[in-house]
Amino acid sequence: MKNYLEKVQNHMMALIKELGDDHILRLFKSIESGKMVRSRLLKLIAENETSDLISLSSIIELIHLASLLHDDVIDNSDTRRGKPSINATYGSKVSIMLGDIFYSKAFSELGKFDYEIVSRVAGSVTKLSLGEIVDVRLSEHFNHDENIYLNMIYNKTASLIETASAVGAILSNKDVETYSKYGYHLGMAFQIVDDILDIVASSEELGKPAMSDFVEGKTTIPYIKLWHWLDNNGKRYLESLHKKHLTPDDYNWLLKNLEESGGIRQAKDLAKFHSKSAINLVKDSPELIEIAEKLLSRGF
């Protein structure tokens, strides 16, 4: 797998080199490659290492990277993958324009593929963008609607993972529906685990203060579950903390109630449900099962 991921990274670099701009190439090289989950899935599902597979992995990684460059501007994030973000170092304009370059270069490459692949990848980019805008809109007020949250995380995170799995199946003539569902469940579990870790992991592990999501206005699933459990006074109090700087007392109140209400446990159960649903679809692939298991053991 390491060898495959290196080939993808090299292919991405070759695509950026084609632009003929050394500064952009240096910026690209300065970005940490991350776990490359989408490429791992593509390889494990498609199995045969063809040039089409490497090309599609590179396209999906470039789109993902572009979305993170834009997301860090939108979220005002100083760090990405444990390093200062591009917007923190070079400013928002550079981060947005670099994202545009990665995104459009990926789409130029995508044009070489069949319609089914093009429409799935392009469709998931529309979903990513929709998920992001809903995420930002929801953070303006305290959202306590679980279905809206689930739909948002599907669009924002699960859709591209679903697509990576589906195109892996298309390339190898496997059942697209099965792998698409696998990617869907994996993506949902991935984002729910991320949202739980924002509460339960230490600030050192996160590289940012715990409960940053809530301070930014994001009422992820544990907060939604807590809201429904609280009485009217409790609900008003929880809403009064939304998007505020948290004192140590506020933080302790939140943590105690998130635990007592079962909000964290119910969120974990939902992540487990999605991970198990993913596993049930790929019983014959120990590597795909391992990805779904590892994801859950990340921190809890």
- Report residue 31: phi and psi, to 5°: -90, 130
Nearer to ligand FPP, 37 or 282 (CB): 37
The correct pick among 11, 28, 71, 171 for binding ligand FPP (CB under 6 A) is 71
105 binds ligand FPP (CB under 6 A): no
Q: How many Å separate Cα 279 from the centre of its chain?
A: 19
Residues 139-158 that bind ligand FPP (CB under 6 A): 156-157
Exposed, middle or buried by CB within 10 Å (0-12, 13-18, 19+), for 175? exposed
Nearest CB to ligand FPP, comparing residues 206 and 289:
206
Closest Cα to residue 159, out of 137, 141, 132? 132
Task: Select the span of 33-41, 43-51, 69-77, 101-109 touching Mg ion (CB under 5 A).
Answer: 69-77
Using CB under 6 A, pick the residue from 15, 63, 171, 211 that binds ligand FPP: 63
Helix axes 176-200, 37-46, angle to 10 degrees: 150
71 binds Mg ion (CB under 5 A): yes
Residue 128 partner contact from ligand FPP, Mg ion, none using kind-dependent CB cut-offs of 5 to 8 Å: ligand FPP
Is there binding between residue 132 and ligand FPP (CB under 6 A)?
yes
Q: How far is the CB of 207 from Mg ion (least distance, A)?
A: 12
| 157 in Cβ contact with 129 (< 8 Å) | no
- Looking at this protein, which amino acid is placed at residue 284? D
Q: What's the closest the beta carbon of residue 156 comes to ligand FPP, in angstroms?
A: 5
Query: What is the rounded distance in angstroms from the CA atom of residue 242 to the CA atom of residue 138?
Result: 12
What CA dihedral angle connects 13, 66, 158 and 82, to 10 degrees? 80
Using the rule CB under 6 A, is 67 a contact of ligand FPP?
Answer: yes
What burial class does residue 92 get, using C-beta atoms within 10 Å of its C-beta: 0-12 exposed, 13-18 middle, 19+ buried? middle
Confirm or reject binding of residue 195 to Mg ion (CB under 5 A): no
Instruction: Enumerate residues 187-246 that contact ligand FPP by CB under 6 A.
Output: none
Q: Which of 227, 230, 296 shows the shortest CA–CA distance to 268?
A: 296
Q: With CB under 5 A as the contact rule, which of the stretches 68-76, 154-162, 183-191, 225-233 interacts with Mg ion? A: 68-76
- Among residues 193 and 282, whose Cβ is nearest to ligand FPP? 193
Q: Does 128 bind ligand FPP (CB under 6 A)?
A: yes
Q: Where are the beta strands (DSSP E) in the chain?
A: 79-80, 83-84
- 288 contact choice in Mg ion, ligand FPP, none (CB below 5 to 8 Å, kind-dependent): none
Maximum CA extent, the chain:
61
By CB under 5 A, name the binding residues for Mg ion.
71, 75
By CB under 6 A, name the binding residues for ligand FPP.
63, 66-67, 70-71, 75, 77, 99, 103, 125, 128-129, 132, 156-157
